[in-house]
Structure 1
Amino acid sequence: MPSEICIDEEFRIPRQYTCERCETTFPIKKGFEFNPNCGRDDNGNQLYAAYRRCADGTFNDGSLVKCKKCGSCPSGTASPCSAASDVVCCTKVEHVRDGRCIDRPVKTTVKTTLTTTESRIDSSSVQTTDSTTSINTSPAIRHVPAHATAIFLSVGIFSLLTMLCVLCILKRRKKHSKQEKGCNGEMKEILESKSIYSTAVFSINNDNGKHHGVTDTSYKLLAPEVQAAPLNTVLNNLDVLEELILLLDPDISSAKNTRHLAAQCSLSFAWINYAYSKKEHKSPLVAVLEGVVAKNPDWTVGHLAGLLSGIGRNDAVEILAKLHASEKE
């Protein structure tokens, strides 16, 4: 043994005073195993080759450090053991043909009866086939051949798989349609149900300062010009944006927050979690608003108000109303 310090499967690294496994430096080779200490002494000198061929009766298929003893087959042997692979055995119901294991044929009895108008001849014969079906034939009755049954079965399986593929495609299209509705059709339904999109419920001040219009006790309605303002207005107004961040970004069990707002726009759960993981560097609410503006540049403050009202955050809608006051200032 070249090394007096390391075991057979390792070699010594003199400068580090450690032993390293052979496979960390030398790749494992099929049909070979490592020589003791990879052929190196304790001073790092390569005394002889790192490998040696597997001895007769052993093998290494490329996954072993040392050659392993070949197995044996209780019945048929499809492939003998070699230096690079173990013996391949057949089961009791198989036999070897052309180096492969195949099923043994099953003996089947076929009885044939022929009837004529002049005489009746009964004959019986025994044949050996690869089919397991017993067939009784006559001029009046004929059974379906085994190969025809296999064809019918294959056609049935193919039809079933085709139907499953069609159902999967229809399900994916339906799911995609629902996702698109999350930031379009569903949003519009929320806005219309809350009457934010209708000019009939806008609070309008006339020249005399008198207040007219429909009011809603659940949240403060926005002025028409605020609702019609581009959604990017919220990102540009740092005072209003900061108030919304302090109100919506924290995770509070008693109130819905930025996570629920992002879900209304069909943003994935993974995306929302990633946005919150970067909370120390960037507000999740800002990330959501920037993403929505990029995807839907025609959205207005009214769209955002509708979504906030839909998740029960009318207090955030009231903050949006300050956009009009800050513009006047």
Structure 2
Amino acid sequence: MSYSDLCTDLQTHYDPHTKQCVSCDMTWIKPGFEFVPNCGYADNGGRRDSHIQKCANNSWNDGKNGKCQMCSACPTGAQTVRHCNATVDTQCCRFGENGDPTRVDNRMEIVIPGVAIIILLACVMVGALTYFIYKRKNKSRQGLIADGNGKVAFLSQRDGQEWKAVLTPQVSAAPLRMVLDDLDVLEELIILLDPEGNGVKCTRHLASYCSFPSTWINYTYSMRVSKSPLKTLLEGVTTKHPEWTVGDLARLLGEMGRTDAIVVLAKLRPSVHAV
């Protein structure tokens, strides 16, 4: 599939101002993603799709390439140390005649003399650190309450006010609808919040905090091929609670431990959208 009739290289798009094919902007690329054909642009400069898409099954990208690479297979006689995922290629290891491990990475052999136990300890330490960080993010107990205006607030062991240090007062007080109007900010939030199963809270949790029933949430995710669950949720919230602001959304994201999404909200520019 191609969005351009003028640019045959799918990692380029046509620039109507310079009248030539230009490379996709690598700052859009994130680990686990690749460019969509022609960066999602049509030849007239209009957007036809998001800039990037997830790597397909059995492929990966560490964020340094515009296209995902096929996962490598361990050579005969080698054991798989770590299976390939969306951001890391397969890592292999085999043992030589003296029992020393030989690490095989992308089929290039690097001999590591006498450090089998160090490799094992390093893996255990990384796993323990990851678990510790995850537990800290999710250790607060949360409960929903509603104020007199119908807005959702939280009670927890922490104050959840980190977002106030990230957002300016102007962005915080801006209407929530601004998030839907800023396509670049919305796209970044979709990439961060829609994926499930990565150990952090996602759009599914956010919808629950906004008091949407599980049946609605499940249906929304079943339709994610044609429309982002986050976009559907934000449209529902702005219809149900037109008085909500960007600060209300940031408060919920703070309680979810998604400071990364709050940082994206800080890119909004109220003055640009002001009438």
TM-score (norm 1): 0.35
Larger radius of gyration: 1
Structure scoring higher RCO (CA < 8 A, sep ≥ 6) equals 2
